[in-house]
Structures are given as C-alpha cells and as structure tokens.
Amino acid sequence: MLNGIGASEGIGIGRVMIIKEQTLEYTPKEVTDIEAELARFRGSVDKFCDNTMAQADAIRQSTGEKEAEILLGHIAIIRDPFMGGEIENLIKANQCAESAVEQICKMFIDMFSATGDDLTMQRAADVKDIRDGLLSILLGVEEVKISDAPAGTVLVCRELTPSMTAGIKKENIVGIITETGSKTSHSAILARALEIPAVLSVPNAVAQLSSGEQVIVDGDNGEVITAPDQAQIDEYSAKREAFLRERRELENYRGKATASADGTEYELFCNIGTPKDAVKAVDADGEGVGLFRTEFLFMDRSSLPTEDEQFDAYKQASLILKGKPLIIRTLDIGGDKEIPYLGLEKEENPFMGFRAIRYCLKNRDMFKSQIKAILRASAFGDIRIMFPLITAVEELREGKALVEEAKADLKASGIDFDENIQVSLNAKIGDLFDFDINWNTQATFDFENKSVSHHASSGGVGQAIRCIKK
C-alpha cells in the first residue's frame, strides 16, 4: 500500500496509466542549411500556438476562463518579436533550433527570476512551459494522450497540470495519483472539480507503479492499494457503491427546506471567496452566503483595488444570489497573508497581531473605500457587513462610525444604498474560540478543539457583545 493525501473523495478501482515527464535531451549541433532550420523553428512555433489554442478552448470548457487565459498568454510570449528575433539570430549563427530556443528562454527565465517580484517571477514559469513545449515539438517527443485513456484508467503523474486536465474525459478516468500537491493545491482543486477520487503526494508514485497494473485509489483515506486481492476488490467495490449511493441520495435534498427531524428550520449558508463562487452556492441550494472573504480582491496584485473594482465584485455576487443574503466580511488581512504592497511586517503570531479590523482602522481611507463599495452594492440585494476579529468595544464603535461616515458621503453624492444595512462582527478570544455575532441575535460560539485556557480574558469581547445587545 502507498500512502498520500486524500485530496478528492471517493474510491476508484482501475488500471494505471503513467504520464511521464518527457525527457527533452538533445545533442546541440551546428547547422549548415540555415533557411531549413529557420523554417523548422517557425513551424514549431505555429504548431505550439495551434496546440495551445486547442488546450485553451478545452480548459475554458472544463475549468474556466482564468486558466484558459494563462495558456493564451503563452502565445503572446512566443509571438514576441524580440524573443523570436533573438532565437532566429542564433540560428543564423549556425546554431540548431533546440539550442537557440533553450538559450533565449534561459536568458528570460534568469532575467525574470532575478527581479524578486512575484508577478514577474510567475512569468519565468510561463517561459519554462513554452521552452518545454517548443522543445518537445522540435524533438518530436509525443505527449501521452490523456484523452485516449481507456475507461477505468487511474492517472499517475508527478503533478497534474492544467494542460493535462484539459484532456481528461471524466467518464474514463476513475482515479488520480500524483507525487506532489496538498489538499489545496491546483491538482486537488482540479480533481475535486472533476469529481475524480485522488491521492496526492505519494512519494515516487511514478517509479513505484507501472502502466497496466491494477490499483485501488482511496481518496477518503489517502491510500493506494497495489496488487489488490479479490477480497479487497470486493470490499472497496462495496465502499464505492455506498459512496456513490450517498452522493445520489444527497441530491434528493436539493430544493428541500433545511430542517431537522423535529421540524426546526435552519438557514443553510455557504462561504465564498470570489463572486463566481456564488454560482456554486446557488447551484448547491445554499440559502445565502454567510461569509464572503474579500481578501481575494487584494491578493495577487501590486496595489490596492479601487472602490469601483470592489463595488463590481460585490454587486456581481449579489446579483447572482438574487436577493438571498450576502454577508461580506471586510478585509481580514495580517502578517500571515502575503500582500507585499500593504507593507505588513511578518509577526511571530500573525493570527493575533496587527491585522483585520486593527489594520483597517489604521488605514481608514482603504477601509472606507471598501465600506463604500459594499454600501453601493447593497442597492442590488440583501447585503450585510461583517467586521473581522473584533477584540474590544472601541474597535466596533470606530467601525460603526466609519460606516455612518461612508453613508453620509454616499448620500451627499446622491448614490443609492441600503440605509438599514445590517452590521455584524466576528470576535476572537485568544486562539481558542471564534464567534460570529449578529447585531440583534445571540452569539454563536465556535470552539476549537483545544482546552480552554484560564488566561483567556473575555472582558473586551463581553463588553462588545453587551454593546451590541443594547
């Protein structure tokens, strides 16, 4: 048995298909027919662009626009006149196309890596992909066609890449095993989106398994059973049936009221991170969004999002929810999340330090633009505000005052918003428990699985709760 991380639930029983990384080795040689070599290089670029276009189309359908755009960026890079020109210059100096491509790509990879800038360094990874793509075309290395995998295939590879996923036929692939990745890695997200059982981070999976051998992929426990006997196959087949039956039976609850056996009704809310996630929440029969994490708007970029940008995102989520409640949590950011342009220092215990509401209250312009964006979006649905990690009543008062200021600004500009927007808060005592408190209802406690410390002082929060209840 091989152990890894169960990253996409379910059981898959099938035969291994190894997707090996291509070896792109060659012996550099001097070319004499320069015209022919130039034509060979240009031909490889055309083929690379055709392949990339086809992959982008496939991935747009299966995964999304953003993943497709990454691939389309590869075309813009390889069509860059400077890059192409430099490669052709080396060929004109009698180098073979492979060696010319490799040298010029290396030049850019080194240049981008040296900047130390996150976004620019990501481009280095793009250039590496392009280099490998061009070299495999030039060397005639055929990629294993995942789209040709027969029914009952378990894919085994070092890493599941977006271009691989583009070729996956859901009905034929019963399991995925990779050597890298975690529950939150790209591979895991793709496997779950495809509803294919997956075990990731299995050391040396590619070397230990061989194509054609039968395996059982247990995505619940993160186990791969090799050379299973009949008893194991029967056992896991039964588990698989039970899992699929449960999944089918859960479908029956779609559209039904959320109520316990005694008839008590509850609200079933989902957490989302981007406006697009609201589509999934609605599809899954969610009755609203209990937590919209707004951090995504601030991450992976080099400066603050504008009020308009934020307004668009909140409005979009609200329109998707069609009147269902949307609770937007204001920026919960601290030393644990890397946002270089905010200039936050790394802290020993970032979870309790200078973050969330404390950071926002020290950066009032930024905070106010977020509140205004939320208020403006509140004209388009049932939007509520949640402040993160309140530890003292002063923070709550200051936050509320800022909401009132933002309301006054909008009124002065004649912009519509929900005058009675609900504001709630999320509070934390030590790192022991978290609770969300609604303006006019009770607190919901959410204890972590740790013993409660005597040192936890509830003074600040208790006062804040009393303040709300008034």
Partner 1 sequence: MVSKKVTLVNAQGFHMRPASVFAQAMAKYTSSVTIKFNGNDYNAKSLLNIIAACIKCGSEIELVCDGPDENDALAEAVQMIESGLGE
In terms of phi and psi (left: phi > 0; alpha: psi -120 to 50; beta: otherwise), the region of 414 is left
Q: Which is nearer to partner 1, 83 or 410 (CB)?
A: 83
Of residues 96-135, those binding partner 1 (CB under 8 A): 108, 111-112, 115, 117, 119-120, 123, 127
Among 267, 289, 268, smallest CA distance to 278 is for 289
Residues 232-251, one symbol each (x = binds partner 1 by CB under 8 A, - = not), give: --------------------
Least gap, CB of 75 to partner 1 (angstroms): 10
Whichever of 83 and 289 has its CB closer to partner 1, that residue is 83
Q: Which is nearer to partner 1, 127 or 224 (CB)?
A: 127
Question: How distant, in Å, are the alpha carbons of 355, 426, 452, 463 from that of 457?
Answer: 19, 16, 11, 11
Radius of gyration for the alpha carbons in the chain, expressed in angstroms and rounded? 27
Measured distance between the N- and C-terminal CA atoms of the chain, rounded to whole angstroms: 60
Closest distance to partner 1 from the beta carbon of 80 (Å): 5
Tokens at residue 466, please? 């009393």
Judge whether 73 and 53 are in contact, CB under 8 Å. Answer: no
Between residues 123 and 407, which has the closer beta carbon with respect to partner 1? 123
Q: Are 129 and 109 within 8 A, CB to CB? A: no
| Rounded least distance, CB 138 to partner 1, Å | 20
Taking the complex as a whole, how short is the minimal distance between the CB of residue 206 and partner 1, in angstroms? 32
> Based on CB atoms, which residue is closest to partner 1, 49 or 268?
49
Least Å distance, CB 74 to partner 1, is: 11
Report DSSP letters for 255-288, one per residue: TS--B-TT--B---EEEESSTTHHHHHHHTT-SE
> Does 302 engage in binding with partner 1 (CB under 8 A)?
yes
Number of residues that bind partner 1 (CB under 8 A): 22
Closest distance between partner 1 and the C-beta of residue 132, in Å?
A: 17
CB neighbour list of residue 426: distance below 8 Å, 6 or more residues apart:
329, 386, 387, 388, 389, 390, 434, 435, 436, 437
Between 70 and 279, whose beta carbon lies closer to partner 1?
Answer: 70
Smallest distance from the beta carbon of 273 to partner 1, in angstroms?
20
Query: Least Å distance between CB 320 and partner 1?
Result: 24
Question: Is residue 81 packed enough to be buried (19+ CB in 10 Å), middle (13-18) or exposed (0-12)?
Answer: exposed
Closer Cβ to partner 1, 73 or 350, answer by number: 73
| DSSP helix/strand/coil, 117 | coil
Q: Of 138-146, 228-236, 296-304, 376-384, which part binds partner 1 (CB under 8 A)?
A: 296-304
Rounded least distance, CB 219 to partner 1, Å: 35
Q: Is 207 in the site for partner 1 (CB under 8 A)?
A: no
Beta carbon nearer to partner 1, 201 or 310: 310
Q: How many CB atoms lie within 10 A of CB 104?
A: 21
Q: Which of 182, 306, 349, 458 binds partner 1 (CB under 8 A)?
A: 306
Q: How far is the CB of 125 from partner 1 (least distance, A)?
A: 12
Q: Which is nearer to partner 1, 93 or 111 (CB)?
A: 111
SS3 13: strand
Binding residue (CB under 8 A) for partner 1 from 68, 281, 304, 389 = 304
CA pair distance 99, 282, nearest whole angstrom? 52
In the complex, the smallest distance separating the C-beta of residue 306 from partner 1, rounded to whole angstroms, is 7
- List the one residue out of 367, 360, 380, 405 whose CA is nearest residue 312: 380
Task: Report the site for partner 1 in 395-454 (rule: CB under 8 A).
Answer: none
Indicate the SS3 state at residue 330: coil
With respect to partner 1, which residue has the nearer C-beta, 272 or 304?
304
CB nearer to partner 1: give 310 or 391: 310
Contacts of 152 (CB under 8 A, 6+ apart): 13, 14, 15, 172, 174
Binding flag, residue 303, partner 1 (CB under 8 A): yes
The least CB distance from residue 303 to partner 1, in Å, is: 4
Site string for partner 1, 64-103 (x = CB under 8 A): ---------x--xx--xxxx--------------------
Looking at the Cβ atoms of 86 and 143, the one nearer to partner 1 is 86
At residue 216's C-alpha, the angle toward residues 214 and 218, to 5°, is 165
Q: Cα–Cα distance between 9 and 242 in angstroms, integer?
A: 13
CA atoms within 13 A on the CB side of 444: 8
Sign of CA dihedral 411, 416, 419, 424: negative
- Given the rule CB under 8 A, which residues bind partner 1? 73, 76-77, 80-83, 108, 111-112, 115, 117, 119-120, 123, 127, 301-306
